[in-house]
Structure 1
């Protein structure tokens, strides 16, 4: 009986302390005791508590996954293009200081070349994908596109080794941009800026810098414009392209579509190895389809004389084609008008058939705007 009474007193005391704490916290917030101005910073103890909690929260939730390869140039170049357009303004880059505006955030965005080594691959992936509350760090626009998140992680792993020249080679490729105020960021203020921003990844006089990026040279103008509008409206799932297209006006979209549709087709992408049997299987599948599985001929819509809403696939990189078919099979690209047509077909393809089709189309010379093969 005495023991029970003692426990009641202990529980009562604990509840009283909790109640007093809640009342105190409410009054603390009610009267605005804590200064939330970013210009004043946090108390050192508050800063330590917040950082300690953030780091342990990330570690508790991050996957154990690792990059399949830290030397995948296609992934690194794709990630570099997005970093330059979407991340460098806040985090800076080799040869580019952090923006003075971003530097006054609380907490200020870190120089990632100094910080990425503190995190495991899975932790970097989680941070890029989900962002951080109360830090101005946004989550990835399309959480399902884990392939895009990994591309940025691949670039972040390369970032600490880059000087200004190496960074520009990866992030800008052939594009020469001299923006104001010393910041090498294309802002898209004019149509020329928009072309430069696209050329970072898609190329202009040359092929795209990454095999994970589509070749736009000579594609139907209506197809390019339609794709940009679908990305801008969120109908096509890509965190990279939704960011790139969302700020474009109709005039800029039409100008970009006209520009790329009029570019001459570049040469065939040099493949390190070609599986002749896969190419042959892909050719048969592209020509005849699989009628018993309701898979039509690919060449009817995607051949040299492709109908206006559909892309010509000749000369596209195999990795890009496989990746797009994988997105369709996952049910992530069926909201746009053309995606609704293609998604059911792609879901009937096996991964092996997708690889064969990618091998076949990538082996062909790209066509120009009239459907003629390059060099003819």
Structure 2
């Protein structure tokens, strides 16, 4: 018997397949329990599809310049310890057995990281992976944080447990400070990156907190917690803090020696003009009009130069149109008016370094 194919029969067949699939999905027969696992062919197909997708999209959506760096990994290690190690494990630390029951379980990055390029790791961190527990990076436009995390993950395969503990702060006094006034040990995570002395462990991306205004530190923590200030690292650290804990932490770090409120900046005379008088021809106000002792904005004199420069370039690089009347938009407007060639001299001047 010969069956003659016609367009109507083909369409009816396809419609029947679609309806059968919908009926199967509606019935609930398919077992979605993570404990049931995948067929081997299903697991292969899903990972094959994911790898091809990452390779393709990372080519267009990741930096082309090298990401690896030898410095600035403390904040990445601290974030990894707080947000990633429970799933992926870490040198000298097994992942949580509960999290390993996810489907698919998070890979051991000491092995898995070798299978990806820097650009591919960057893409996975920035966008996450659908149908897995891997989230997208927690703060938009913080490629600097993603770069540091890529560099940290790249080093995991050869990292010892002692090196991991040193980078993540677990061997640098985290949790050893007196926190009785703060109740639970909420200071440990802060000390891991910022140091027990509040000086940021010498890292270029971590500001000096000691001596800063209490009100500013508390406001910054609140802004990180509710997303008004972008940082996956600080957002994760501040998210669970209560208002009382934020104020207690702010008071603790503000009371430490660090930034001198009576210090005088030094260095490039061009930077001194910007700090003291601004550049009226560019509608750039003086830094001192808002920053300094008795001023509402954070102290800058004595702050780490690398940190100041990075923050100015972050604001300067925001290309969207903004309403300068809103308080949170003031610094992007000001940063755009600072000549690029004067950002580093200005940062060194405020830090008190040589011209």
Please report the TM-score for the alignment, with normalisation by the length of structure 1. 0.82
SS in 2 for 1:73: coil
Q: Which residue of 1 aligns with 2:220?
A: 227
Structure 1 stretch 125-134 or stretch 345-354: which is displaced more?
345-354
Q: Deviations over 1:311-330 (max 9, x none)?
A: 11122222211121122223
Deviation of 1:338 (Å): 4.7
Deviation of 1:54 (Å): 0.9
User: Does the 8 A contact of 2:210 with 2:253 survive in 1?
Assistant: yes
Q: Distance in 1 between matches of 2:117 and 2:13?
A: 40
Deviation of 1:67 (Å): 5.5
**Count of residues in Structure 1 that have an aligned counterpart in Structure 2:** 336
Distance 1:261 1:127, change over 3 A: same
SS in 2 for 1:35: coil
Q: Distance in 2 between matches of 1:174 and 1:22?
A: 60
Is 1:348 the counterpart of 2:310? The answer is no
Q: Distance in 2 between matches of 1:83 and 1:67?
A: 23
Q: Distance in 2 between matches of 1:37 and 1:144?
A: 36
Among 234, 249, 261, the residue aligned to 1:256: 249
Is 1:24 the counterpart of 2:20? The answer is yes
Distance 1:140 1:282, change over 3 A: same
Structure 1 stretch 342-351 or stretch 323-332: which is displaced more?
323-332
Q: Which residue of 1 aligns with 2:54?
A: 58
Structure 1 stretch 128-137 or stretch 27-36: which is displaced more?
27-36
Q: Distance in 1 between matches of 2:342 and 2:244?
A: 39
Deviation of 1:10 (Å): 6.1
Q: Which residue of 2 aligns with 1:183?
A: none
Deviation of 1:66 (Å): 4.6
Among 60, 68, 71, the residue aligned to 1:70: 68
Q: Distance in 2 between matches of 1:151 and 1:93?
A: 17
Distance 1:191 1:122, change over 3 A: farther
Among 307, 310, 316, the residue aligned to 2:297: 310
Q: Which residue of 2 aligns with 1:186?
A: none
Structure 1 stretch 325-334 or stretch 235-244: which is displaced more?
325-334
Deviation of 1:283 (Å): 2.5
Deviation of 1:300 (Å): 2.9
Among 30, 37, 43, the residue aligned to 2:33: 37
Q: Which residue of 2 aligns with 1:198?
A: 190
Deviation of 1:266 (Å): 7.5
Deviation of 1:357 (Å): 1.2
Please report the TM-score for the alignment, with normalisation by the length of structure 2. 0.86
Q: Distance in 1 between matches of 2:241 and 2:198?
A: 23
Deviation of 1:335 (Å): 9.8
Q: Distance in 1 between matches of 2:294 and 2:210?
A: 14
Is 1:299 the counterpart of 2:291? The answer is no
SS in 1 for 2:140: coil
User: Does the 8 A contact of 1:206 with 1:266 survive in 2?
Assistant: no
The structure with higher relative contact order (CA 8 Å, sep 6+) is 1
User: Does the 8 A contact of 1:322 with 1:354 survive in 2?
Assistant: yes
Distance 1:259 1:283, change over 3 A: same
Among 197, 200, 218, the residue aligned to 1:208: 200
Q: What does 1:153-302 align with in structure 2 at a 5 Å threshold? A: 153-172=150-169, 174-177=172-175, 191=183, 193-205=185-197, 207-209=199-201, 210-265=203-258, 279-302=268-291
Q: Distance in 2 between matches of 1:52 and 1:314?
A: 53
Among 124, 134, 139, the residue aligned to 1:137: 134
After the TM superposition, list the runs of 4 or more consecutive aligned residues in structure 1 that deviate by more than 6 angstroms.
332-337
Q: Which residue of 2 aligns with 1:146?
A: 143
Structure 1 stretch 9-18 or stretch 236-245: which is displaced more?
9-18
Q: Which residue of 2 aligns with 1:369?
A: none
Distance 1:336 1:221, change over 3 A: farther
Q: Distance in 2 between matches of 1:143 and 1:16?
A: 47
Q: Deviations over 1:273-302 (max 9, x none)?
A: xxx9x7333223212210121211112322
User: Does the 8 A contact of 2:198 with 2:256 survive in 1?
Assistant: no
**CA-based RMSD:** 2.7
User: Does the 8 A contact of 2:221 with 2:246 survive in 1?
Assistant: yes
